[in-house]
Structure 1
Amino acid sequence: MTTLDIIKAYYAAFNRGDTDAMLDLLADDVEHHVNQAGIRRGKAAFAEFNTHMTRCYREELTDLVLFAEGDRAAAEFTVNGTYLATDEGLPEANGQTYRLPAGTFFALKDGHITRVTTYYNLTDWMAQVGA
């Protein structure tokens, strides 16, 4: 698979809610950099994050635009979400919906994703959920 094929597969799995398929695309030592947070290292940490996210949020990504060059890729998209359960340190959830522009940068090696770096505007999200 090409870099672009791998990233397309990653987002298709995301939109299906298929964490296992996402994990299959990651290197064992993947680094997951998340906006406003630290770095999660390894597939287990990525899986734990996805479990948490699935409990607190239901999201579908639309308007996906992908760029790939060699072993690097970038994506721009719109997050269409519902805030399902209160996430620690954030406003109380009561089913609020949100629509948020976001982007992710990727690094790959030997056909696997080694770094996922996601950015979004937390202030915008907070305003949309009523903070």
Structure 2
Amino acid sequence: MNTTVQRYFKAFNAGDVDGMLDCLSDDVAHHVNEGQVREGKEKFRAFCEHMNRCYRENLTDMVVFDAEGGTRASAEFIVNGTYLATDAGLPEAKSQTYRLPAGSFFSLADGKITRVVTYYNLADWTRQVS
């Protein structure tokens, strides 16, 4: 199992943004669900800070997959969350809880994550918090 990806998710669940950043290459490409690609650690940090203001999330039922050679990995998991503060363009936040299947895909080089892609069903999330 990919130890870099494991450390990344352990840091996520601990709310440790610096720990997540430590797993990333300086030029990481972050493909956000329903959003634009953000490049670099500073944009990733800004995204995490925004998410931590609006959402409290814990990932469970984690299964990590590795491709031969260690250059790719993926994970599927359940996002258990609370919607804390209204995010622009989305329903009003009232501390609603949600449970959402999701998945992430990773590219890796030299022990660092160079690409993070995360997918979930936004319509399902919207239904749960509306």
Q: After superposition, what is the alpha-carbon deviation per residue over 1:81-116, rounded to whole angstroms, capped at 9, x for unaligned?
A: 000000000000000000000000000011100000
Structure 2 CA distance, aligned partners of 1:120 and 1:26? 21
Aligned equivalent of 2:76: 76
Aligned equivalent of 2:13: 15
- SS in structure 2 opposite 1:9? helix
Aligned residues: 128
Aligned equivalent of 1:45: 43
Summarize the alignment of residues 44-63 of structure 1 with structure 2, pairs less than 5 Å apart. 44-63=42-61
Gap regions ≥5 residues in structure 1: none
Q: After superposition, what is the alpha-carbon deviation per residue over 1:55-81, rounded to whole angstroms, capped at 9, x for unaligned?
A: 000000000000012210000000000
Aligned equivalent of 1:87: 87
Q: CA deviation at 1:35?
A: 1.0
Aligned equivalent of 2:107: 107
TM-score by length of 1: 0.96
Q: CA deviation at 1:42?
A: 0.1
Structure 1 CA distance, aligned partners of 2:39 and 2:11? 20
Q: CA deviation at 1:5?
A: 0.5
Over the aligned positions, Cα root-mean-square deviation in angstroms equals 0.7
Percent of pairs with identical residues: 63
Output the amino acid matched with 1:92.
E
Q: CA deviation at 1:18?
A: 0.2
- SS in structure 2 opposite 1:49? helix
Structure 2 CA distance, aligned partners of 1:118 and 1:34? 6
Structure 2 CA distance, aligned partners of 1:112 and 1:56? 27
Structure 1 CA distance, aligned partners of 2:16 and 2:74? 21
